[in-house]
Chain A
Amino acid sequence: MTTAEATEPTSVLTDAGVLVPGPGYDVPGTVERYRDSFNRTLRDELNRDADVFIMGEDISGGFDRDTLEPLDAWGGPFAATKGLVQDFGPDRIRDAPISEAGFVGAAVGAALTGLRPVVDLMYFDFVTVAYDQLLSNAAKSRYMFGGQTKVPLTLFARSGGGTGHAAQHSESFYSMLAHIPGLKVVVPSDPYTVRGLLAAAIRDDDPVFLVNDKKLINEVGFAPDESYELPLGKGRYLKHGDDVTLIGMSYTSVVCKQAAEALAEEGIDAEVVDMLSLSPFDEEIIVESVKKTNRVVIVDEDTPRASMASEFAAIIADKAFDYLDAPIKRVTGPHTPVPYNKGLETAFMPQPDDVVTTVKTMLGV
């Protein structure tokens, strides 16, 4: 157990279990991998509420043919559900066949009738296989039935390049989900934020999609021991600065932070905003930061057309136009699928150097 430095991000856990801005992490916690925080939070929520259950492919890792005991062979995709089936049983850690549309639809039906399903969609790319159930049923039921019902459904999946999973296992199309009225989208960026946002997502009465970038899963950081929620729709500052705002989401928040460190060595003081939520999203923090720095670079691993980067750019152009000293810049993936080859894949993903170059060009240095 350790206590993080009282620098950033500055939040404290209240008695109500909610993190609020404060001088630092003055709470007991652990330095652990992102995936351990994720797993621990699933366990907290399963213990807290008997209506919470998890459903997905391979989450209990096969069964012994003779005893019918689940084997937990993998600990679930990326070990997200490791050890849970032993403690909560196969009804609450429900291994599903490869039927994304079927079990996402069944999860919506379960949510409409009073349970709180948590669905592991494995790779983010598989969203499209279940997209109709997400769009037409999960997101629209409350509205088209005139508010009679709610859909307390949580989904999660792994996004992003960097692991050689190639075109069909490396998507980051956040905007395809954020575009949907009725659905919420959150993108944690470290153990602390995944713990708070996952708990908030599961406890929320609307359908929430939580995206885990694969590059974050083995990243290490501080997370409080106690269960807590982070508010959906709120971003945070990872670093304060005066010269330029760097806006990141999910793993690109890490990219922005690394770029800010490199820029600092050259005397450029960048501010880093970590969005954390994409729908709803924190317009205030973007506008506040841009009004201060007068320059902004938005970093998004998604392809550029109709992306979150484009949406944030539109908000800034609308609400902080008069404060801008330079055109809004976006650093995104190219308008291509994600390639397999390591060199090509690295070139696809926004790198800290790309951000540094964009900032220096913007500043004319």
Chain B
Amino acid sequence: MRLTREKLHWLYETMYRIRRFEETMLEQTFRGNAMGVTHPSDGQEAVPTGICAHLTEKDWIGSTHRGHGHCIAKGLDTKAMMAEIMGRYTGQCKGKGGSMHIADFSKGMLGANAIVGASVPLAVGAALTAKYRGLENESVGVAFFGDGATSQGVVHESMNLAAIWKLPVIFACENNQYAEATPAWYAVSTDDIAARADSYGIPGVQVDGMNVFAVYEVAEEAIRRARAGEGPTLLELKTYRYHGHFHADDPKKYRKSDEEEEYQERDCIQHFERLVSQQNAMTEAELEAIRDSIEVEMQEAVDFALNSPMPPIEELYSDVYVNYSNPLVGLR
């Protein structure tokens, strides 16, 4: 596999940005600055990074409650994301969506979705728009979802629809092995989710989701197929979430520490650093410069969010409809 220096730089920067964003977000959450629950994805950074490396703003992604990585990899502004998580008016959704509903339609991001599996048909619909307009070559849909979502009926329906209509969709199953506290070995009927692709007559590939280069490579082929009008692909990206289900969840209650350690040793960022160092592809000074610039960005994001105004109370009533002739104010 050959990568340009710019791409290599981008992969590291993006993974590191996601990691530090979520660590910073957790810190702010525990300080009481986030207004609700946050679901960190640290450990999983290679997945959105390796896939979104092939996408442009004209491509669409659907995301999940654990969606900060998808947002960042799709190019969303971290200042506005931090502001959204803190419920501020300057957030992407004016503080009305929060951590679980960050969206930026100008970046091809259809929104994080807190109903497990519910954003999968949205990515199929975005692909349907592309096919309807004959623009498959420049606009594909990527549905990010977890192992938990594979038990949802609408995910099966979406794969069948995309297969029969040959839509430009990538079904990206981030198998982090836990749906909340329930392990995939208990809740999913197979340890090979990618094999389910056979039943739709589409390709299915299982890949190490801790290795950004492996993710990059399979995503490249899946997206090439989609853009060429060859239809959908199911990718199963085997990964791990270091934290619990949400910020205050202690995963030690339902996971063994040797399992956590095993994945920590295969950490996607450290793996990248080792590999580029072995191959003299990037210098330590280059990596450090990226890390330093991200630290500055995170501090700016926090400062921006903390100094941003709250949404005015009138915002409660706006954006429900484009137009509606009855009052929305409720009864008191």
Contacts and interface: CB of A to CB of B under 8 A. Distances in A.
A21 interface: no
B324 A137 contact: no
B289 interface: no
Contacts of A141: 111
Interface in A74-119: 91, 94, 96-97, 99, 101-115
Interface in A147-169: 147-150
B92 A109 contact: no
Interface residues of B, number: 51
Contact of B157 (A101, A107, A205, A206): A101
Contacts of A24: none
A136 interface: yes
B275 interface: no
Contacts of B185: none
B161 A106 contact: yes
B232 interface: no
A148 B323 CA distance: 15
B91 A146 contact: yes
Contact of B93 (A115, A145, A184, A281): A145
A283 B331 CA distance: 15
Given A109-B121, A146-B94, A182 B326 contact: no
A61 interface: no
Interface in B42-83: 60, 62
B132 interface: yes
B164 interface: yes
Contacts of B123: 109
A45 to B, nearest CB: 16
B115 interface: yes
A233 interface: yes
B4 interface: no
A113 B125 contact: yes
B132 A91 contact: yes
A163 to B, nearest CB: 28
A108 B122 contact: yes
B92 A105 contact: no
A105 B106 CA distance: 21
A351 interface: no
A37 B157 CA distance: 33
B110 A109 contact: yes
A175 B327 CA distance: 18
Contacts of B92: 145-146, 148
A232 B96 CA distance: 27
Contact of B321 (A91, A108, A144, A182): A182
Nearest to B162: A106
B319 A147 contact: yes
B96 A143 contact: yes
B199 interface: no
Nearest to B311: A146
Interface string A176-219: 00000110100000000000000000001110000000000000
A149 B105 contact: yes
Given A144-B101, A147-B94, A106 B124 contact: yes
A179 to B, nearest CB: 13
Interface in B165-204: 165
B103 interface: yes
A84 B248 CA distance: 55
Given A97-B161, A99-B161, A141-B111, A113 B60 contact: yes
Interface string B106-127: 1000110101001111111111
B129 A114 contact: yes
Contacts of A148: 92-93, 103-106
Nearest to A232: B325
A53 interface: yes
A280 B96 CA distance: 23
A132 B115 contact: yes
A291 interface: no
A92 to B, nearest CB: 8
B319 A146 contact: yes
Nearest to B103: A145
A250 interface: no
A60 interface: no
B28 to A, nearest CB: 20
Contact of B319 (A103, A108, A143, A205): A143
Nearest to A152: B322
B161 A96 contact: yes
B118 A133 contact: yes
B215 interface: no
12 contacts: A102-B154, A103-B157, A109-B62, A109-B124, A109-B127, A110-B128, A110-B129, A133-B121, A150-B322, A182-B320, A205-B322, A279-B326
Listed from nearest, the 5 A-B pairs whose CB atoms lie closest are A109-B125, A105-B121, A102-B157, A146-B93, A147-B319
Given A97-B161, A111-B125, 11 more contacts: A102-B161, A105-B122, A106-B158, A113-B126, A113-B130, A115-B132, A132-B118, A146-B319, A148-B103, A182-B321, A184-B324
